[in-house]
Amino acid sequence: MMPKPVYIICAQSGSQDSETKLVSLFDICERLEVQETVQRTATAEGESPKQQIVMDTISLYIVATWMKLPDDDAEIEYEHQFVLHFPGPESREVTVGAATGVYFNNDRLPTNRYLLRARMRPFSHAGILRIESRIRPVGSEEWFSQEYPVLIAHSQAEEQLDAQHVNAGITNQQG
């Protein structure tokens, strides 16, 4: 037998109580709107405006929980990983938050909870970000997993920066 996936969820922020270990999540993510801002800087007369794409970093707070089943052996050691599957033509995947030495041996609390705070650069492609929580006995080849999908959508805003303010080190952002 294997531990059972209970849930996986993603939010933009969260916290864990230091005494009770209870988790609170804020702004559950089902869709992330990634804003690309194209800044056009005025230049000397006769030159083309300079362009720069600026995107904010994204913070995610991910929680995955697995539960021991009655027939599971409490002596089996497991390993856990979070894997982020990024959208786009290259379909890149990144393993983060790996843990070994995981046991399901507490009968009073038969669940194990895994937390990941991820701060990442914006996504270069729209699509589905798949967040995977996976677990397996140490030494096994086969992973058991649960996934959480987040829709990544892009939008674009333009800012015209006044050359005088840019040269003075001041950016006046108007929307």
Query: pTM value?
Result: 0.75
- The pair phi, psi for residue 141, each rounded to 5°, is -90, -25
The pLDDT tens digits for 116-171 are 998 887 677 788 999 999 999 999 999 999 999 999 887 765 544 444 433 333 33
The pLDDT tens digits for 103-131 are 988 877 889 999 999 888 767 778 899 99
CATH number corresponding to 4-167: 2.60.40
Task: Give, as one character, the DSSP assignment of residue 164.
Answer: H
Could you tell me which of 124, 125, 122, 104 has the C-alpha nearest to residue 113?
104
Domain boundaries, the chain: 4-167
